[in-house]
Structure 1
């Protein structure tokens, strides 16, 4: 039964997350901590401020405001606006990823246990709590903190995001083994006790779910690709700042590598 539960987790996580963030085509490295809100964008290293942008275009390096010419102010303002604009993109993709996982979970367990089953309802509640938590943490009003490893906040999403969702699903399954045992028994009865027929039925069941989820996942993948391009443009803007403002020349804090564009 434990293997069956693990198989369900694998099946659902594969169909739900396979088209999520395409890490093979977008590798983002943040080489500093970062705090973002509506008023300040601050970059830190070892709890020390490297530089910050206050308001729209005020640049402060080593606690000193840097005099900027008009064209430099425009570059700083565009850079800050681009960083703030990417926050809702990140939030949207993460929350839609959870919604996709929730939909996959319900498709799976409604098929096995019937509409309105307790396991599907429990998982939906747990994933919605995770979604709400994410919504609260990714808020410019509240302020967003990334540590030097790119982790949001002190503990939030400290583990891999996908793993956290999978653990939520697996825990709920383990707490509902009785219902699942009955469902598996019924499926085996439908197969006349033939294990090969049962396995084939379960494989078809998984394939059906995967097909239903693929179109939805493709939309999420397109958003992830757009996000990747947005972050890549921020990386390019950082390079321009470093070349145009002497005080920022040493700060190469963001590195993005994509299939279509590689930064040396």
Structure 2
């Protein structure tokens, strides 16, 4: 009987882990000195040195108890957000760096510049929701479910398409060159497309690993968000002006 109950609890936990709609209602920028809650590149709320609170640029005079809550809230965000951003950024960098290595030295300078521009443009599009630069981290408004969808539903097909598009252009350029040499293109072509297939497989394998890592940690992340939401609620009760800037939310 205990085994049955334990199994049921595991099933319930697994469903909750996969279906956590907790997330952030605003953008969040974390640096060593500051935490900024942002909307459309505008800072709405800011915490300096895990203790000083600013709302719309105005410093808030906090009691000792208020300051302790702000510190707990700030440190909770610092433990949580960089890890989430890291999983997403690592997934993007894994795919793009693999392509850059494969494209290195292939084609003319102008072709390499074109492919590098394409990779940079794709990087910018993908990274608008996640940024990691040294010890600075940015996370756009989203839920844990949306992050999981990013890794599986958005990132993987975009990187796969980019890989095939880039290498399609590479081998088209090589075709023109090989047709004017004694090389047997019919023998070379399948080998090159096989290399593309291996690249795509490697990208997908790496992304599956990141998605699995996220899935393993979703329950923990969800619990951390619920705890942060509790701290935020306490702060809002003590500082009603914070009600207008609800950062940790349950998203649909």
Q: Displacement, 1:50?
A: 3.1
Q: Secondary structure at the match of 1:43?
A: strand
Match of 2:73 in 1: 79
Which residue, out of 220, 223, 248, partners 2:213? Answer: 223
Say how many residue pairs are matched.
200
Q: Displacement, 1:240?
A: 1.2
Change (3 A) 1:69 1:37: same
Tell whether 2:106 aligns with 1:118.
yes
**Greater fraction helix:** 2
Which residue, out of 50, 54, 57, partners 2:48? Answer: 54
Q: Displacement, 1:105?
A: 9.3
Structure 1: state its 5+ residue gaps: 1-23, 110-115, 151-159, 191-201, 258-263
Tell whether 2:89 aligns with 1:94.
yes
Q: Distance in 2 between matches of 1:48 and 1:117?
A: 42
Change (3 A) 1:137 1:221: closer
Change (3 A) 1:226 1:37: farther
Q: Distance in 2 between matches of 1:32 and 1:173?
A: 40
Q: Displacement, 1:34?
A: 2.9
Q: Distance in 2 between matches of 1:48 and 1:250?
A: 15
Q: Displacement, 1:253?
A: 2.3
Structure 2: state its 5+ residue gaps: 1-17, 144-153, 179-183
Match of 2:166 in 1: 171
TM-score w.r.t. length of structure 1: 0.51
Q: Displacement, 1:244?
A: 1.2
Q: Distance in 2 between matches of 1:46 and 1:209?
A: 35
Q: Distance in 2 between matches of 1:162 and 1:217?
A: 7
Paired residues of 1:79 and 1:237 also in contact (CA < 8 A): no
Q: Write the mapping of 1:80-229 to structure 2, written as runs, cut at 5 A.
A: 80-85=74-79, 86-100=81-95, 103=98, 118=106, 126=116, 137-139=131-133, 141=135, 143-145=136-138, 165-166=159-160, 168-169=162-163, 170-179=165-174, 185-186=186-187, 210=201, 216-226=206-216, 228-229=218-219
Match of 2:148 in 1: none
Paired residues of 1:242 and 1:249 also in contact (CA < 8 A): no
